[in-house]
Chains A and B, each alone.
Chain A
Amino acid sequence: MSFITRGFSGRSRERDDRLPPGQTLVGDFPVLSAGPTPEVDTEDWEFTIRTETGAHSWNWDEFMALKIEDVDTDIHCVTHWSKLGTRWRGVSLDTLFEDVETEYDYVMAHSYGGYTTNVPLDELLDGKSWVAFEFDGEPLDPEHGGPARLLVPHLYFWKSAKWVRGLVMMDQDEPGFWEQNGYHIHGDPWKEERYW
């Protein structure tokens, strides 16, 4: 249904094929949040995976002792901004789920500050997501989700829950905070799954 907008020529003509539809390249780091930035000290930080049978928890030191990976990836914010070639360090969800037994297929990520977002488990495993604590060689800024955030770069970036503190397994998919407030239940940028 699109039509040509009278008088609009646009700026960029070199379409980068790493850019999903409706996205624009940006040099700085887009921020999306709904409230104040929570202050989380690594001394108090804990990360928990809760299943139908129990819980697995790591404190900061235990977390840092896990296998740490370098991640080089593009990120896509639902507010139409993309940033290419971002560099992170974090722990793969494959590592975190090594000893976790669950029959459930869906995950709700919970953050300090109370926010939640839902992701199917199979979209977090096989090298698709991390809990990241370093961006561009520096500890992750609180503004950008530090001390640690989920990193699920193949989905819109609100799924990469800032200030993440744990995952709760669910037997069926349920909308998290962002999804209840207008964003798509799944959030694939290549399908422009922005809103419901």
Chain B
Amino acid sequence: MSDAPTAQAVAPSAALQAVPRSGWHVATVAATHRETPNATRIELDVPGWPGNAAGQHLDVRLTAPDGYQATRSYSIASSGSSTRVVLAVDKLPDGEVSPYLVDDVRDGDMLEVHGPLGAFFVWAPAAETGDRRPVQLIAGGSGVVPLYAMAHAHAGADDPTPFRLLYSVRTPDDVYFDDELGTLADSAAPLRLDFVYTRRTPDGWATAPGRITREALEAAVFPASERPRVFVCGSTGFVERVADWLVMLGHDPRSIRTERYGGT
């Protein structure tokens, strides 16, 4: 094994310094908002939250009256030093925790959260990292949440790095952060938005609805020659397919970071 491992560029000390330490916190639901027909945005007030990087996640733990507990991980849609933490939760068929969070949770409810978690699937402004390569975000469904956090942080930092978001979504009604994404695309920080609709398109859309193709991917993403950093988040099938195509299109596997969701 003479060739050095490629993915461990982050020294332990650097990683430890780069993100706040995780811990358990009591969160109070400050606001909820129906994000899509199947998803709810939940704003949490988390006293003592140490802040989080764009792209990190947290664990939510629910406890039933008999002591039964269920814990799930959710990506965070917000970033920075604020103790207001935003989630957007998709209701999964046969889910146990997501139906509660999407349909039952209300203002003033208290939840246990553990985080912030994850130090790899994160983005920080070029001013902090010195990395000026373009950034390609690729979202499948609710996988857009951590990528929205990155695009939002990019605009908030007025970062000059070229950003693109390719967002595969079932129908126009299922777009998370619809208004906010439009605002981000119009902001000074460069962001290009591309959509793929898998079930129903907006009226007059040029292409029929369907799963993302290699051709659609190639047409939308920064070409490999521009050496973009790529963040892909979605279901396992979506992530596997997209990441394989990116490698076939000549993207450096080390520049592709992936995150998946799965199960109920």
Contacts and interface: CB of A to CB of B under 8 A. Distances in A.
B7 A115 contact: yes
Interface stretch (B64-72, B131-139, B147-155, B214-222): B64-72
A contact residues, range:
35 or more
Contact of A35 (B72, B257, B263): B257
Interface in A161-195: 165-166, 168, 174-177, 179-182, 195
Contact of A37 (B64, B71, B240): B240
B25 to A, nearest CB: 10
A176 B71 contact: no
B236 interface: yes
Given A10-B70, A180-B10, A36 B263 contact: no
B260 A31 contact: yes
Contact of A195 (B22, B64, B69): B22
Contacts of B64: 4-5, 8-10
Contact of A80 (B21, B73, B119, B120): B73
Interface majority SS (helix, strand, loop, mixed), chain B: mixed
B199 to A, nearest CB: 23
Contact of A30 (B68, B256, B262): B262
B120 A181 contact: yes
A113 interface: yes
B176 interface: no
A24 interface: yes
Contact of A34 (B12, B117, B121): B121
A9 B65 contact: yes
Interface string B53-83: 0000001011111001111110000000000
B159 to A, nearest CB: 23
Interface in B5-19: 5-8, 10-12, 15-16, 19
B63 A5 contact: yes
B62 A24 contact: no
A81 B1 CA distance: 33
A7 B97 CA distance: 11
Contact of B1 (A35, A80, A165, A196): A165
A9 B26 CA distance: 19
Contacts of A5: 62-64, 100, 109-112
B62 A10 contact: yes
B209 interface: no
Given A7-B104, A8-B100, A81-B263, A113 B7 contact: yes
B10 to A, nearest CB: 5
Interface in A1-24: 1-13, 15, 22, 24
B7 A36 contact: no
A35 to B, nearest CB: 5
Contact of A26 (B16, B247, B257, B263): B263
Interface of A: 1-13, 15, 22, 24, 26, 28, 30-38, 48, 50, 79-81, 110, 113-116, 143, 165-166, 168, 174-177, 179-182, 195-196
Cβ-closest 9 pairs across A and B: A114-B6, A114-B7, A36-B243, A181-B120, A10-B64, A11-B96, A5-B62, A181-B119, A8-B62
Given A34-B258, A37-B243, A180-B15, 16 more contacts: A3-B26, A4-B63, A5-B112, A8-B64, A8-B70, A8-B104, A9-B64, A34-B121, A35-B243, A36-B243, A81-B263, A114-B7, A177-B8, A180-B12, A181-B119, A182-B117
